[in-house]
Structure 1
Amino acid sequence: MSPSTPSSSAATEKASTSDSSSQPSSIMSVCSNMIGAVASHFVPTVAAESKDKEEEGEEEEEEEEEEEEEDPEDAAPAIREECAQSKCSKYKHHFDHCEERVRSGKGDKNEDCVEEFFHLLHCVDECATPKVFSKLV
């Protein structure tokens, strides 16, 4: 009977091994199901709505109409350029002269014409602002 005892103990070991290997997978599935159930209470589920073909056709027509509309051209750059050439011409001349000096290397080593540029922009802004706002109304 001793030979039968080892085989019965081996059968018991196999049974306990198979139970332990199936147990973690069942625990995992139970945990997964519980987590899914809890999450469904806190996180809403959104389903995509199906669109009717009529709605899709209307949307395509609206998109085509939107594409056909052109944006009005911005008048500000033209107005600013006009101001730079007319009322602010002396500031533009000083800035252009400074630029030539810097590019040719005749100016100071650290000269950058920022001051002249700011004077030009200030003058252009003063001149162009009322004209641009009158075009907006």
Structure 2
Amino acid sequence: MGIADLLSDVWGTFSHPAPDAEAPPTGGSSTSSPAAESGAEKEENKKDAKSDDGGEQGHRPSEGGDEEEEEEEETVDPKDTLEDECKESKECQPAKHHYDECVDRVTGQIDNDGKASEDCIEEFFHLAHCATQCAAPKLFAQLK
């Protein structure tokens, strides 16, 4: 087999779809087939077909509100709460002081020059590390 045969085989493979390839699925679930509907769905579909108001399809919930949606409260991560408390604690006060000074220095540079010559990443990580170290024992005590 020569290189020309190889290239023509590759070209033929990628340029023409195979005749035995499966066609992509079309359509979706059919509401016209009786097997797809339960008894309650059949009744609602009949009511909707009779009332044909504006061409909209589907079931509208009843106005009475037998089933009210319960609003779920977002759960608060205890780790975040404990770390926030620790950042303000006496234990992390030196790290927080250095971070706050750096933030003030950098924002002053941005206000004056339009750009900063430094960032506060190192100070931030020191503060985050302190808060994590402080919060970890309290967190694991809560989880037990």
Classify the TM-score, shorter chain.
0.3 to 0.5
Question: TM-score normalized by structure 1?
Answer: 0.48
Structure with greater helix share of residues: 1
Q: Greater Rg, structure 1 or structure 2?
A: 1
Q: Which of the pair has the greater relative contact order for Cα pairs under 8 Å at 6+ separation?
A: 1
Question: TM-score normalized by structure 2?
Answer: 0.46
